[in-house]
Amino acid sequence: MKRLLLLRHAKAVAEDASRLDHERALAPRGCEDATRLGEWIVRQGLIPHFIMSSSSRRTVDTLRLVGSAFGHSPLVMIRRRLYMCHETDYPPLLQEAPSDCELLLVVGHNEGLQEYLTRLTGTGRAVPTCTLAVVELPISDWPEMTLAVRGKLVQLVTPDDLDPQ
């Protein structure tokens, strides 16, 4: 069995016509939430073995802050294809994870991330910014990931669920 962590990026600054959406930075609240989430991940023993992240500034910054709590740096693959990807784009990306990876973290965006979580688990849960879904998968290797695979949502953690700093 493999486990998948799906993380929506932390709260970003408001859209602004003077900058590209891809380059939006995190808001102060987003920085705080991402730091607290990283600490929670460590306390739960969920440090990923491999990470895939969208190439946007807000996802990379979220990953940097979350990962600062890990104590080591798992291998990270930055993928432009994760930027605003559709729910059907996730399985082919997940198939690229190394075989020895038991716990994969993917940092992405809505609406695709939330739609994929719904398809994968059948839960239909909202995924606010800096929310982490922990999903158990009935597969033994990542190339087995297809749209037909159904996982079990073990936990959905929002910033409101985390201890305040």
Neighbours of 25 (CB within 10 A): 12
- What's residue 17's pLDDT? 61
Q: Which residue type, as a one-letter code, is found at position 146?
A: T
> What is the CATH number that goes with domain 2-161?
3.40.50.1240
Per-residue pLDDT of the chain (165 residues; tens, 9 = 90+): 999 999 999 999 887 766 787 878 899 999 999 999 999 999 999 999 999 999 999 999 999 999 999 988 888 999 999 998 999 999 999 999 999 999 999 999 999 999 999 999 999 899 999 999 999 999 999 999 999 999 999 999 999 998 765
Q: How far apart are CA 16 and CA 68, in angstroms?
A: 28
- What's residue 40's pLDDT? 97
Provide the residue ranges of all domains of the chain, joining segments of one domain with +: 2-161
| 37 backbone dihedrals φ, ψ, rounded to 5° | -65, -40
- What's residue 147's pLDDT? 96
Q: What's the helix, strand, coil split of the chain in %, to 5?
A: 35, 20, 45
